Amino acid sequence: MTHSDIRKPFPWHILVFLGPGLLIYLTVSVYPLLDTLRLGFFSEDESGATFFVGMQNYANLLFSEVWSEPFWNALKNNLMFFVIHMLLQNPIGLLLALLLSSPRLRLSGTYRTLLFMPTMLSVVIVGFVWQLLLSPLWGISEDFMYNIGLGDYFDAWLGKEGTALVTLSLISVWQFVGIPMMLIYAALLNIPEDLNDAGVVDGANSWQIFWNIKLPLLLPTISMVSILTFVANFNAFELIYAVKGALAGPNFSTDIMGTLFYRTFFGFQLQQGSPTMGAAVATLMFLIILIGVAIYLFFVQRRIQRFQL
Amino acid sequence: MLNKMTLTMPWSGMNKLTLKPDLGKKLMVHAVLLTYTVIALFPILVILINSFKTRKAIFNDPLGLPDASSFTLVGFEEVLARSSFDVFFFNSLIVTVLSLFFVLLFGAMAAWALTEYRFRGALFIAALFAMGIMIPIRLGTVSILQLMVDLDLVNTRTSLVLVYIAQGLPLAVYILSEFIRTIPKELKEAARCDNVSEYKIFFQIVLPLIRPAMATVAVFTMIPIWNDLWFPLILAPGESTQTITLGVQQFIGQFVTDWNAVLSSLTLAIAPVLVLYLVFSRQLIRGLTAGAVK
């Protein structure tokens, strides 16, 4: 014990307040993450005993014949998944937020409630819903496409190698558009009316007001939405697993980091599951997310702060 | 002057007509919002409607509402007979409520300790919690499973509750700390002068004051827990501990070809969330937008 204890009684109340939360957080979150980073440097034999192998797992994942192909494939698909979200989910969310915040809009609260509804549902449920809707067996989408004169373009999108990933991304965009919408909407409400009014008085049209006044003020929110999207996308698993199973078919065309992690850890078909290889995949996911967060913290946020008043 | 205005804006000749471009714009806004609302709701409605229809009606007239000849509850009967939906639902409920309770309690206590008292390591602990906001707990799954095996907690709801507390704490500590900082010093000092204990100050003065922030935290914590598939799948896949999300996933995997049952199971999973959402949407959205919406 330190000598400060002699002068002051031990601050038990701090321990009582901080203890329970910190203990659970350290044991169930911090320690497992550190242990996973450690396990990535190990390998195991049939008996389950682990031994140190240095960078071997990572060399395998990045370069070996068996591992590197699935890894780069999953990374590429995951990037695609992310890019589609950035190109569609966040701009659509921004547009909806702008419309929702138009002054004296009737039914604004109702729209808000209804538009956010899909976001509340479980990703698994949403996956199944769309699987049914897009199924050629049921034919709802096919009928719909015929009715608007695009019947010839209908295809079993979820089942085709070339379209499955894009279709799944669009389903995810459909579900989560509510999050950028709400966050940007809240930010828009916090922009003082005076700024808009000043723009109107100076003769700016709606587009100019958006581009020169609102957008710069929204940048912190938009970049926060972007990093949230990044982390969520590189951590995604449920949608692919619900619709395509752990094999992320057809022919791994919808495989992303989350499903690769799951398969590597638990094994599938002929390949045995491996906790250490799984830990290595998780470590790489950790690094990817860390790079994203670092870019956000050091570049985007710093630059934006300079623009703030 | 009037001439010039009619030239640049031909519709602004009369006072009444100046409303017109505004009206057109408003209609446009409503048209876009309405279209997107349909896009957002249509898929859900189709599933809900068809779960009440016979197999024949599901395929012949998927968009029609159930009527006297096509109405049936056979799908629901099958779901309830062939799976333990009530158990799954109860599991989800108890796991979510318990996790939520502890996240709020321990989160508020930790936030209070970190903002109110000066002690060595406070900054480090705060930073440690902050890191958890961005880094998903899922990445530690390999070791979490090992930990649960060692603690003999696999296939228990306790394992899920523990993981979800750890998952929810970082954001809870962050949001509640921000809020606790805004509590005026005088309140606490006055209490301390009256020799009120630190525990009483926290539970009887601070906790009631941060209730609005707790609602926000509750929203952010609850939804991911209720909807999670990953941890139930890995830590508690046993029949008796399955949550509703996992239960539906397994059930549909088993009965893919039974359309009535599949649609009904989806409806059973969606309905409670929708009802709760519609009842609490105002509070929920206020929580999400952190008070910006009145």
CATH number at residue A220: 1.10.3720.10
Which of A13, A122, A279 has its CB closest to that of B199? A13
Q: Where in chain B is the domain with CATH 1.10.3720.10?
A: 83-254
What does the block give as tokens for B201? 């100050």
Number of domains in chain A: 1
Residue A124 sits at φ, ψ, to 5 deg, of -60, -45
Evaluate whether residue A134 is within a structural domain: yes
- Cα A124 to its chain centre, rounded Å, is 15
Tokens representing residue A266 in the block: 């638990």
Residue B32 tokens, joined: 């876009």
E strand spans, A172-286: 267-268, 271-272
User: Over its length of 309 residues, how does chain A's per-residue pLDDT go in tens digits?
Assistant: 445 445 677 889 999 999 999 999 999 999 999 999 999 999 988 887 889 998 999 999 999 988 999 999 999 999 999 999 999 999 999 999 999 988 888 888 899 999 999 999 999 999 999 998 998 888 788 888 888 888 788 888 998 999 999 999 999 999 999 999 999 998 898 888 888 888 888 888 888 888 888 888 898 889 999 999 999 999 999 999 999 998 988 999 999 999 999 999 998 877 888 999 999 999 999 999 999 999 988 877 676 665 554
Q: Tell me the per-residue pLDDT of B174-214, one tens digit each, with 9 for 90 and over.
A: 999 988 998 888 888 888 898 889 999 999 999 999 988 88
Task: Report the chain B residue with the minimal C-alpha distance to residue A284.
Answer: B139
User: Does residue A113 belong to the interface with chain B, where contact is any CB pair within 8 Å?
Assistant: yes
**Rounded to an integer, what distance in angstroms lies between the CA atom of residue B121 and that of residue A183?**
33
Q: Is residue A52 part of a domain?
A: no
Whether B128 and A128 lie within 8 Å, measured CB to CB: no
Range of the domain at A113: 86-99+108-307
CA B221 to CA A20: how far, in whole Å?
Answer: 18
Query: How far is it, in rounded angstroms, from Cα B51 to Cα B59?
Result: 12
Spell out which residues of chain A touch residue B37, defining contact as CB-CB under 8 Å. Answer: 111, 114-115
Residues with Cβ within 8 Å of A94's Cβ and at least 6 positions away in sequence, in order, are: A180, A181, A184, A218, A222
Residue A30 maps to a domain: no
Write the residue in A117, A258, A289 that is nearest to B41 by C-beta: A117
Nearest CA among B220, B236, B110 for reference residue B167: B220
- For A251, the 3-state DSSP assignment is coil
Q: Has domain B83-254 been given CATH number 1.10.3720.10?
A: yes
Closest residue in chain B to residue A279, using alpha carbons only: B142
Residue of B nearest to A20 (CA): B106
Residue A287 lies inside a defined structural domain of this protein: yes
Cα distances from A248 to residues A80, A127, A173, B181, in angstroms, run 15, 13, 19, 47
As for the ipTM of the complex, it is: 0.89
Question: Does residue A72 belong to any structural domain of this protein?
Answer: no
pTM: 0.89
